[in-house]
């Protein structure tokens, strides 16, 4: 990892960054004056406005203004079908800059990579040159965002999935920076475990593209369920938030407080593509386009799911003291 490169890149954001050895880069994000935060979560969106991407973006702008959001989180698959061809690929402007134009969305966008992003030039999405094209853009493979009352652990999940290596079909994946894979994954898991063990934040949220639990098309990604879930549970992570399945979803856990939230409705949705899931865990499922808003403080977090028309589909609150959810 080239730390000088990251220092130059991150300093241009005006953010405080700590880099220690080979560990995850740390970013600092301020809270509002009253100690609260609000943000939007959207995934699987980059289609040059098609498949209702522009409509979802409009509603994000409306809700973003009402909530006075501090930033946006993207759960990956930022550019379809095959990522970016390079830093000058017009898809960046056509699918991002020219779509999310609302004043409320002119905030930092914290992104992770999805499997479709890996089908293009991964380094392009990580490049500081994109920052020159649109100052909102921020993407690294894995990193930590420290927002005082909450820490977000952004994780590069695509290299975990065996099929992309053993059965790529007619797709070509950009594995530069990932190989040798075993070492990459071992280091990632070690660094995640270390970062979580050090966290003193009131809330802990892990952001990745791929599903761990889902009643949607991709269901359980076995590699993540086996390797990530024990770490999340050991360190009392509150939420794992993902995209990948083109739906909106909330799944709880019978054996812990960990919840799995899917926000992958940024553009193309998969109507009717839903599998049975234990009703004790499945709290909400919607097979259409939309996004999620989050508002939280030291004591409480509120999640609201919206459809492409801005209608509220589902909402719930979690109290940090009692961890009782009302819905």
> 153-198, pLDDT tens digit by residue?
999 999 999 999 999 999 999 999 999 999 999 999 999 999 999 9
Instruction: With a cut of 90, say whether residue 319 has pLDDT above it.
Output: yes
| Structural domain count, the chain | 1
Assess if residue 284 is contained within a domain.
yes
The boundaries of the domain holding residue 239 are 26-319
Can you say which residues are annotated as belonging to the binding site?
44, 77, 80, 115, 209, 244, 246
Assess if residue 7 is contained within a domain.
no
Q: Answer with the residue of higher pLDDT: 296 or 13.
A: 296
Assess if residue 1 is contained within a domain.
no
Q: What mean pLDDT is predicted for residues 38-48?
A: 98
Assess if residue 309 is contained within a domain.
yes
Instruction: With a cut of 90, say whether residue 89 has pLDDT above it.
Output: yes
pLDDT of residue 114: 98
Q: Answer with the residue of higher pLDDT: 327 or 223.
A: 223
Residue 321 — very low, low, confident or very high, per pLDDT cuts 50/70/90? confident
Catalytic residues: 218
Assess if residue 88 is contained within a domain.
yes
Q: What mean pLDDT is predicted for residues 273-300?
A: 97
> 201-229, pLDDT tens digit by residue?
999 999 999 999 999 999 999 999 999 99
pLDDT of residue 23: 87
Q: What is the CATH number of the domain that holds 256?
A: 3.60.21.10
Cβ neighbour number for residue 156 with a 10 Å cutoff: 24
Strand ranges of the sheet holding 325-326, from the earlier edge strand across to the other edge: 137-139, 108-111, 71-74, 37-42, 290-296, 300-307, 312-319, 325-326
């Amino acid at each position: 990892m080239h730390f000088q490169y990251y220092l130059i890149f991150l300093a241009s954001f005006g953010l405080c960054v700590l880099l220690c050895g080979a560990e995850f880069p740390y970013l600092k994000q301020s809270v509002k004056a009253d100690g609260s935060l609000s943000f939007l979560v959207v995934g699987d969106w980059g289609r040059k406005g098609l498949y209702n991407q522009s409509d979802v973006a409009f509603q994000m702008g409306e809700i973003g203004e009402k909530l006075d959001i501090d930033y946006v989180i993207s759960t990956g698959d930022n550019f379809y079908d095959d990522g970016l061809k390079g830093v000058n690929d017009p898809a960046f402007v056509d699918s991002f800059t020219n779509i999310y134009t609302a004043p409320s969305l002119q905030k930092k966008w914290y992104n992770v990579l999805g499997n479709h992003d890996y089908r293009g030039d991964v380094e392009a999405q990580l490049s500081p040159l994109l920052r020159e094209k649109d100052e909102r853009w921020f993407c690294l493979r894995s990193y930590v965002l420290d927002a005082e009352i909450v820490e977000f652990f952004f994780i590069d999940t695509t290299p975990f999935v065996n099929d992309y290596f053993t059965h790529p079909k007619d797709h070509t994946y950009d594995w530069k920076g990932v190989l040798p894979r075993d070492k990459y994954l071992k280091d990632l898991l070690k660094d995640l475990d270390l970062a979580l063990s050090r966290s003193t934040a009131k809330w802990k949220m892990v952001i990745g593209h791929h599903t761990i639990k889902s009643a949607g098309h991709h269901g359980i990604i076995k590699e993540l369920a086996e390797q990530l879930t024990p770490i999340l549970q050991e360190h009392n992570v509150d939420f794992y938030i993902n995209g990948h399945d083109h739906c909106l979803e909330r799944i709880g856990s019978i054996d812990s407080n960990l919840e799995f939230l899917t926000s992958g409705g940024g553009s193309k949705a998969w109507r009717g593509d839903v599998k049975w899931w234990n009703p004790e865990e499945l709290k909400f499922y919607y097979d259409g386009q939309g996004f999620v808003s989050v508002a939280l403080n030291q004591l409480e977090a509120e999640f609201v799911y919206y459809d492409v028309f801005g209608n509220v589909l589902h909402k719930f609150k979690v109290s940090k003291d009692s961890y009782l959810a009302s819905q």
